[in-house]
């Protein structure tokens, strides 16, 4: 017996009843970003592995354990993108978009891939919307990214469900000095660390700060803090971000353990978190990465951005019952046609109605069928009106118009008057 074909574990189909919520979220964010002057860029799903090894960093969990990497027919190592920033920077460099100090404000959307243990809100193929800004070194653009996400939460009704956490990683020099102090502190307590933190101590020690292990967190209570090693320029930058958030009334928490999981961040880092989804609490995260362009072979170029998880945000909207009822759009009109001549005439009539009434949701019956069966399909479609076209109606050049959601009587409407009649009926129901 052949194996039943099914999707790969952690890579899910988005079914027709789910896609309206996705389109709602994606559309809201696209409109918002247009309003702030960000332009869409579309990036490849596959990149050379070296891009992520150099950009994200050797020793990170993403590069060492989570990437989908393989050799193609030319024996070149390729990787399904695990995140979007490195690919966006590569595109900016390759096409000269940041040359001469050009300011670029970009956004992208699409699937990302990481080999993780699938669980609610965390999948092996997941979808992100990412935003990046280049050649803007000041705290103003850091704050703008946070402000526009706060506006999105307001528009979606999520403002009370998310909390902003903020930190600064400082300069690379300050972070290196802090890293040395943290490693020295934890080495003295090595045997008390959990196994994962012991491994990270030599590869990515700052990630130990956000360990989920309770014993490790207890050890960190007396550890050096990043704030103690913050350079003056980074401190002033953080104060600039805070001042702008204060000016528009955005509340935040300073979280000295917020370090993010990727090596390229410096200075500002932030996360929007929720307590409504259990363990998977981060719905949007980002920060500044002024050294990444240089790291990937370009000239020094300031950069800052964020990414938000579509699956988690849709799940949050569903959990809090914040999706608009009209998302599951039903048909306005269902056209029933009886006999080949009526079907041919009905097809032309339907197209004229679509021309005359923009946005009309009109379903034309497919597969013929009896009067009873077609009316049953019309009712199931959720349509407000059924249009009836048979031999008698063809002869008289009229269409039967039957309201389906109340007890009003059917009317016969002339073909030339039908569009106006339908438009008036639909408007009256709004």
CB atoms within 10 A of CB 146: 24
Nearest to 94 by CA among 49, 37, 51, 52: 51
Q: What Å distances lie between residue 169 and 208, 260, 401, CA to CA?
A: 14, 9, 67
**Beta strands 333-337 and 39-40, pairing class:** unpaired
Do the Cβ atoms of 281 and 170 come closer than 8 Å? no
What's the pLDDT at 77? 95
- The predicted model scores a pTM of 0.85
pLDDT of residue 260: 66
Give the pLDDT score at 331. Answer: 85
Q: Over the chain (430 residues), what is each successive 10-residue block's mean pLDDT? A: 85 92 95 97 96 78 84 95 94 91 95 88 92 96 97 96 93 84 84 82 78 81 83 93 97 86 78 87 92 88 95 94 82 90 91 92 88 88 90 90 86 90 84
Beta pairing, strands 333-337 & 362-364: parallel
Which of 154, 104, 162 lies closest to 132 in space, CA to CA? 104
The pLDDT assigned to 327 comes to 77
* Straight-line distance from the first to the last Cα atom of the chain, in angstroms, rounded to the nearest whole number: 55
Q: Could you give the count of Cα atoms lying within 13 Å of 78 in the half-sphere of its Cβ?
A: 11
Cβ(229)–Cβ(183) below 8 Å: no
Give the domains, in start order, of the chain with CATH numbers.
Answer: 19-171+231-319 (3.30.930.10), 330-423 (3.40.50.800)
Instruction: Dig out the tokens for 10 from the structure.
Output: 């952690």
- pLDDT of res. 22: 95
Tokens at 123, concatenated: 């999948």
pLDDT at 121: 73
Q: Compute the distance between CA of residue 217 and CA of residue 396 in angstroms, rounded to an integer.
A: 81
pLDDT at 47: 96
């Amino acid at each position: 017996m052949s194996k039943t074909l099914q999707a790969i574990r952690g890579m899910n189909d988005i079914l027709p009843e789910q896609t309206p919520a996705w389109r709602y979220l994606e559309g809201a964010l696209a409109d918002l970003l247009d309003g702030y002057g960000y332009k869409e860029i579309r990036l490849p799903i596959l990149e050379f592995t070296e891009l992520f090894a150099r950009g994200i960093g050797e020793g990170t969990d993403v590069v060492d354990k989570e990437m989908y990497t393989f050799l193609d027919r030319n024996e070149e190592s390729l990787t399904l993108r695990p995140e979007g920033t490195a690919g966006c920077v590569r595109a900016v460099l390759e096409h000269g978009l940041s040359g001469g100090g050009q300011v670029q404000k970009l956004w992208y959307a699409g699937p990302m891939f990481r080999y993780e243990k699938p669980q609610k809100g965390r999948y092996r193929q997941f979808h992100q919307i990412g935003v990046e800004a280049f050649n803007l070194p000041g705290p103003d653009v850091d704050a703008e990214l946070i402000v526009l996400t706060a506006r999105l939460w307001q528009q979606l009704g999520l403002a009370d469900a998310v909390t902003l956490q903020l930190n600064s990683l400082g300069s690379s020099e300050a972070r290196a000095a802090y890293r040395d102090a943290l490693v020295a502190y934890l080495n003295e307590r090595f045997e008390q660390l959990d196994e994962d933190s012991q491994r990270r101590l030599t590869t990515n020690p700052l990630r130990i700060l956000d360990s989920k292990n309770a014993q490790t967190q207890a050890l960190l209570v007396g550890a050096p803090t990043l704030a103690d090693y913050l350079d003056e320029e980074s401190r002033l930058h953080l104060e600039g971000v805070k001042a702008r958030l204060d000016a528009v009334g955005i509340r935040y928490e300073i979280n000295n353990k917020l370090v993010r999981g990727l090596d390229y961040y410096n200075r500002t880092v932030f996360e929007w978190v929720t307590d409504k989804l259990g363990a998977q609490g981060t719905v949007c995260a980002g920060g500044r990465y002024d050294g990444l362009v240089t790291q990937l072979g370009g000239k020094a170029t300031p950069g800052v951005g964020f990414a938000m998880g579509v699956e988690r945000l849709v799940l949050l909207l569903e959990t809090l019952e914040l999706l608009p009822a009209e998302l599951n759009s039903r048909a306005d009109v269902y056209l029933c046609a009886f006999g080949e001549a009526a079907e041919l005439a009905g097809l032309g009539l339907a197209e004229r109605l679509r021309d005359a009434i923009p946005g009309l949701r009109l379903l034309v019956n497919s597969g013929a069928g009896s009067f009873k069966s077609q009316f049953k399909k019309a009712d199931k479609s959720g349509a407000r009106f059924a249009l009836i076209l048979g031999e008698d109606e063809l002869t008289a050049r009229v269409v039967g118009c039957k309201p389906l959601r109340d007890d009003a009587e059917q009317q016969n409407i002339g073909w030339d008057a039908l569009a106006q009649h339908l438009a008036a009926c639909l408007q009256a129901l709004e």
